[in-house]
Amino acid sequence: MNPEEDYFVRETMKESTVKIYPSETNVKVVIENYSEDFPIRYFLYNVQGALLQSNINVNPTFTLDMAGYSTGTYVLKIIIGDYSSNWKFLRK
């Protein structure tokens, strides 16, 4: 089993396909932007709604390091242009 194949979310937003994996992680979450034409703004929240980190990324693939965070559920908000989407994932 390949975790990249088994656990991911893929969504098309503003002519760009975004893939996020794995849905459960110990260390990192990988975000792939299949269109380099649009930068990704991201916001990472805990389940209480507190903003933990945010940034704008223009790289086609980047990772969120979760090593410093406790176990639990987190929400990742992705914004591309005027389009936004939220994903939940579990930090083991």
Domain spans of the chain, in order of start:
3-91
pLDDT at 49: 95
Higher pLDDT, 7 or 72: 72
- Per-residue pLDDT band for 12 (boundaries 50, 70, 90) equals low
Distances in Å between the Cα of 45 and the Cα atoms of 2, 32, 36, 60 are: 27, 19, 25, 22
For the domain spanning 3-91, the CATH number is: 2.60.40.3080
pLDDT for res 10: 52
Local confidence band at 39 (pLDDT 50, 70, 90 cut-offs): confident
Supply the pTM of this predicted model. Answer: 0.79
